[in-house]
Structure 1
Amino acid sequence: MHLGSGSVVPSRTEFTPTGSPRPSRPGQIDPGLIEGIAGGADPSVVSEMSHASAAALLDRVHHSADPQVVERVLTLVDREGVDMIAELWSRSEPDSLPGIMWRLYTLRSWMRRDRDLISRLWRLGEPVATAASAIAGVDQAPTEADITHTADSILAGAFTGDFAVALERASAFVDVVAQGLRVEARHMVRQAEAKAGSETATAADLAEAHVMRSRSAKLMHTAGNLIATSKDFRHGAQLWRRGKLD
């Protein structure tokens, strides 16, 4: 996820996770399975495997008290690589279990990689603690370490706690970061207008103002993608509580 890149994929984009239908060791990918998918397997077969693997992974950890099992699942993307994981889950719809799990893993990866940026955006989007802070479990002015801890705790909660609550935490977190992006984008527009509207504005000032407006538009686009992802998380929580997320 990079600002303006749309890496936090909106609601209807493709997504996918990992694993063989019944992994004997959670967090380990069957290379043969991945090769088969990459080779152009029947879409219905891919869909069946993505749903089966997501359900098996979640069920395996829910019934395990072994912290090493939980750790292997949490660090799945770190060890296997996001591209390999994406082969199976990234094409799943956002209102499906594999689609939602892919989004959770992607969110964790982004939060850990860009924790300095995200901590700053959180402070912009949530200058005063609100219900979002309580739901997401984030301090009013989080440090980079706080962001990393939150990333892990949201994903861990999905496997070891109430799955719907974990999705609601993810949604609240993403909403605040999106708001931070909007605040920054609006500030950038004001700067551009001041620079371009100055009586002493030069050609260079006008060119810089144009660049700032372009960057602002990209920030707003990324914020929109985040809001769509947040809605996916909230909808997923509702489906899970009704027993309809599979």
Structure 2
Amino acid sequence: MSDESREFHKPVRRPAELFDRRFAAEDPAEVSRVAHSTAHALLARVREDRDGTVVDRLVAFTDEHGIDDIAELWSRSPAKSLPGALWRLYLLQLMIHDDARTAALLYERGRAQLTSADEVVAGAPTPAGPDELVALIDTILRGLFEGDFAVALDRAAAFCRVQAAGAVGLADDYEATEPDRASTFTTRALRLSDYAADLSACAALWRRDALS
């Protein structure tokens, strides 16, 4: 698993039928091909779904199965690609579901510090508690499959920027008294900032019909 998945990883059940294990082998070109083809096929399949049951299953996927099965393919994809974007959204969702209380703390702290429109773009209610943050990230993920894909990516990027600002603030708070904890929040802030940049770039590529 890639380094960027370690912070938000948890033990999971791994349904063998989800992905063909032949492609978990070590041919990078084949892994890349399958990652891109499955991401595009998944998006096309869901957008053809009329009753929403497929979307419901996809939004609930990480709660049931964690992230390992997706990681086998998508975590190795370039950041500015369709599987790379989907991977980051699922990883972000897993982070929020795993520790919604901390996510809410970061969000409220970041909201107080930022002067940008990111909190408006992200769309969380005021105040945003743990339940509201879980609902928000699920709504954003649902928007990838049901609504405007680029808008959903922009919302996710804004969400990451608010969270990153909150993590920086908490890191500053703990720097003098708990440096290890400050370092953890600094690492999270950097990762969230990277995700925000990647997702914004993917949104721009999608609008140009260039997200492969």
| Equivalent position of 1:50 in the other structure | 35
- What letter corresponds to residue 176 of structure 1 in structure 2? V
**For residue 144 of structure 1, what is the amino acid of its counterpart?**
P
Question: Is 1:139–2:129 an aligned residue pair?
Answer: no
Distance 1:59 1:32 in 2: 17
1:130 Cα offset (Å): 5.4
Query: Does the 8 A contact of 1:6 with 1:222 survive in 2?
Result: no
Deviation at 1:8, TM superposition (A): 6.2
Q: Alpha-carbon deviations, 1:110-169, whole Å to 9, x = none?
A: 112211111111111112785212100112320111011101100000000011100100
Residues 23, 34 of structure 2: 8 Å contact kept: no
C-alpha RMSD of the superposition: 2.2
Identity of aligned residues (%): 37
Candidates 133, 153, 172, aligned match of 1:167: 153
Q: Which amino acid aligns with 2:99?
A: D
Q: Distance in 2 between the 1:130 and 1:43 partners?
A: 40
Contact kept, 8 Å, 2:19 with 2:69, in 1: the verdict is no
1:88 aligns with 2:54: no
Query: What do the CA deviations read for 1:39-77 (whole angstroms, capped 9, x no partner)?
Result: 43x221111111111001111111211121111122223
Consecutive unaligned residues in structure 1, runs of 5 or more: 10-27, 193-208
| Structure 2 residue aligned with 1:38 | 24
1:112 pairs with one of 84, 97, 104? 97
The 8 Å contact of residues 24 and 73 in structure 2, kept in 1 or not, is answered as no
TM-score, normalised with respect to structure 1: 0.76
Aligned-residue offset at 1:108: 1.0
In 2, distance between residues paired with 1:107 and 1:124?
18
Q: Alignment partner of 1:244: what SS? A: coil
Paired residue secondary structure (2:49):
coil
Is 1:186 the counterpart of 2:172? The answer is yes
Partner of 2:200: 234
Could you tell me how far apart the structure 2 residues matched to 1:111 and 1:220 are? 17
- Segments of 5+ residues of structure 2 without an aligned counterpart are 10-14
Q: Identify if the C-alpha distance between structure 1 residues 29 and 85 changes in structure 2 by more than 3 Å, giving closer, same or farther.
A: farther
Q: Secondary structure in 2 aligned to 1:141?
A: coil
What is the TM-score of this pair, normalised by structure 2? 0.87
* Residue matched to 1:224: 190
Q: 1:32 to 1:178 in 2, by over 3 A?
A: closer
| 1:149 correspondence with 2:115 | no
Aligned equivalent of 1:177: 163
Q: Structure 1, residues 54-105: CA drift from partner, whole Å, max 9, x if none?
A: 0011111112111211111222233333112211111001111001101111
